[in-house]
Amino acid sequence: MPMRLTAEERDILDGKKGASLAKVMKTLVMYGEAFDAEKMTPITGAHGHLVTSVGLGVMKPVFALLDSLIAEGVVSGQKFTVDPRPLDGKVPAGFLQKFFFKIMYSKQADYEAQLRKLGLIRDDGFTCTCYMNEVGNAPKHGDILSWAESSAVVYANSVLGARCNRNSGIIELFGSIAGCVPRFGLLTDEGRKAAWIVEVKTTKKPEAQLLGSAIGMKVMDAVPFIRGLNDWIGRELTQEAKDYLKDMGAAAASNGAVGLYHVENMTPDATERGLSLILPGAQTYVIDDAELARVEREYPVIWKDKAAAPKLCFVGCPHLSQAQLAAWTDNVCAALEKNGKEKVSVPTVFTAAPAVLEAFNKTGAAARLAKTGVITSGICPLMYMNNPLCGKMPVITNSNKLRTYTTARYYRDEEIVEKITGGSK
Ligand code: F3S
């Protein structure tokens, strides 16, 4: 079915505002028609968020496209943040790896220059947790967004009550340029209804990254309505609860393709619409201790030498909040003291948004963390690892997203602390 366009949208499509803008609109119309959207809807969020943060040498058509948009003055009507950078000299890498990065990301500086011209919010606006207060790109309840980055989209939809589909790279930029997005899926009341009821029946607080993984692998791209979580994380969207939901959502979005979840009595849609969000005939998935243990047991370990000593540890995928940085600092310091050590025994990187790190670095916790040898960085661990050389390294992480997309091995938070502080191998 062809989409119904307004006169203004039709003029843009017909090229009355330039050839490049017409191509942008044509792409959005084709995207919408592929998903049976009937019309466009204006973006109401203040800022965009782009997923592509890497200046990969092989992305020549993208660079050429962006150059032509910039030359014609067809830039984003809204400022945007971008996913984390792939490189940071502070993160340990061997000579060969550094050489490889140089070739692989040969267009990084050029690409960032293009982003600045297109509407990058500020020079350090690179993070997947753009919605954190320190970063300043938190949409309001009900805002329509043109974002990509699965962990940010699921957070914006679920925890903030904004409305955004799981867009791809470039499409999200085109939405920001045109100022509108096709109306379908998670932008509609009907598309936000739950086809799954998830009953959490564990005897202790489930690890967020494990719970999200279990949910994602079961419901895939459907919307789950989660019950029983209030017993463990309360009903208020406190900072601690938001951090928990951030990590749970990122795991659900990457281990499956969840773009929105509801937590009973807690998340905005669930508090407003309650059980009416559940579709007739919704299926039920019960998650108890045994189910979480099964999910964890079945993760494949794809290290060549499964008994290898870890060479690197990443914590912070998605990026950590200030509160999480402080909590990890306390846990690492306490474990080092218990184990009679001063520094971590595995090179360890905690990742967070540059603006979050800037604020954290003003606290006493930052100085304590630095003494342990843990490095902080605004890097994306996935982009760092996504090449054959890093893929061979025995890397450990508490991130289920990093485990899914790379060779990194998943451990629960307390296991990570033990491993990096020399408590056990
Ligand atoms: Fe963020 Fe990169 Fe992980 S974008 S969620 S740190 S894969």
The reply to whether ligand 1 has any atom less than 6 angstroms from the CB of 206 is: no
The reply to whether ligand 1 has any atom less than 6 angstroms from the CB of 152 is: no
Report d(CA 15, CA 23) in Å as an integer. 8
The reply to whether ligand 1 has any atom less than 6 angstroms from the CB of 148 is: no
298 Cβ partners below 8 Å, 6+ apart?
Answer: none
Termini Cα distance of the chain: 59
Q: Which amino acid is at 68?
A: S
Q: How many whole angstroms from 114 Cα to the centroid of ligand 1?
A: 22
- 312-420: CATH number: 3.30.499.10
The total number of residues shown for the chain amounts to 425
Q: How many whole angstroms from 276 Cα to the centroid of ligand 1?
A: 33
Sheet with 395-397: list strands edge to edge. Answer: 375-377, 348-352, 312-320, 395-397, 409-410
Q: How many whole angstroms from 229 Cα to the centroid of ligand 1?
A: 25
The reply to whether ligand 1 has any atom less than 6 angstroms from the CB of 249 is: no
Considering the four listed CATH numbers 3.40.50, 1.10.3470, 3.30.499, 3.40.190, the one that applies to the domain covering 7-187 is: 3.30.499
Report d(CA 417, CA 421) in Å as an integer. 6
Find residue 196's DSSP bridge partners: 224, 283
Residue 386: per-residue pLDDT: 87
Residue 390: per-residue pLDDT: 86
7-187 and 312-420 have identical folds: yes
Report d(CA 278, CA 276) in Å as an integer. 5
Taking the CA of residue 351 as reference, the ligand 1 atom at the shortest distance is: 6
Kind of pairing between the strands at 180-182 and 40-42: antiparallel
Residue with the smallest CA separation from ligand 1 atom 1 is 318
The reply to whether ligand 1 has any atom less than 6 angstroms from the CB of 345 is: no
Residue 425: per-residue pLDDT: 40
Residue with the smallest CA separation from ligand 1 atom 3 is 317
Residue with the smallest CA separation from ligand 1 atom 7 is 382
The reply to whether ligand 1 has any atom less than 6 angstroms from the CB of 401 is: yes
Find residue 42's DSSP bridge partners: 180
Report d(CA 92, CA 374) in Å as an integer. 11
Q: How many whole angstroms from 196 Cα to the centroid of ligand 1?
A: 26
Dihedral of the alpha carbons of 298, 302, 308, 314, in degrees to the nearest 10: -80
Is the bond into 318 cis (omega within 30 degrees of 0)? yes
Q: What distances in angstroms separate CA 41 from CA 100, 167, 178, 184, one per listed residue?
A: 43, 15, 11, 9
Q: How many whole angstroms from 252 Cα to the centroid of ligand 1?
A: 13
Q: How many whole angstroms from 145 Cα to the centroid of ligand 1?
A: 19
Instruction: Tell the burial category of 88 from Cβ atoms under 10 Å away from its Cβ (0-12, 13-18, 19+).
Output: middle
- Residue found by looking up tokens 């029983």 in the block: 228
The reply to whether ligand 1 has any atom less than 6 angstroms from the CB of 352 is: no
Residue 346, CB-side half-sphere exposure with 13 Å CA sphere: 28
361 Cβ partners below 8 Å, 6+ apart?
Answer: 376
Q: Which of 51, 54, 81, 83 to mutate to test the pocket of ligand 1 (most atoms within 8 A of CB)?
A: 83
Q: How many whole angstroms from 234 Cα to the centroid of ligand 1?
A: 27
The reply to whether ligand 1 has any atom less than 6 angstroms from the CB of 247 is: no
Taking the CA of residue 151 as reference, the ligand 1 atom at the shortest distance is: 5
Helix (H, G, I), strand (E, B) or coil at 244: helix
pTM (2 d.p.): 0.97
The reply to whether ligand 1 has any atom less than 6 angstroms from the CB of 320 is: no
Taking the CA of residue 51 as reference, the ligand 1 atom at the shortest distance is: 4
Domain ranges of the chain: 7-187, 190-297, 312-420
Q: What's the alpha-carbon Rg for the chain, to the nearest Å?
A: 22
The reply to whether ligand 1 has any atom less than 6 angstroms from the CB of 317 is: yes
Stretches in the chain below the pLDDT threshold 50: 424-425
Q: What distances in angstroms separate CA 97 from CA 132, 258, 316, 374, 403, one per listed residue?
A: 32, 34, 21, 20, 20
The reply to whether ligand 1 has any atom less than 6 angstroms from the CB of 151 is: yes
Residue with the smallest CA separation from ligand 1 atom 4 is 128
Residue 115: per-residue pLDDT: 97
Residue with the smallest CA separation from ligand 1 atom 5 is 318
Residue 78, CB-side half-sphere exposure with 13 Å CA sphere: 26
Give the distance, in angstroms, between the CA of residue 95 and the centroid of all CA atoms in the same chain.
Answer: 29
Report d(CA 149, CA 382) in Å as an integer. 13
Residue 423: per-residue pLDDT: 58
What is the 8-class DSSP label of residue 321?
Answer: P
The reply to whether ligand 1 has any atom less than 6 angstroms from the CB of 318 is: yes
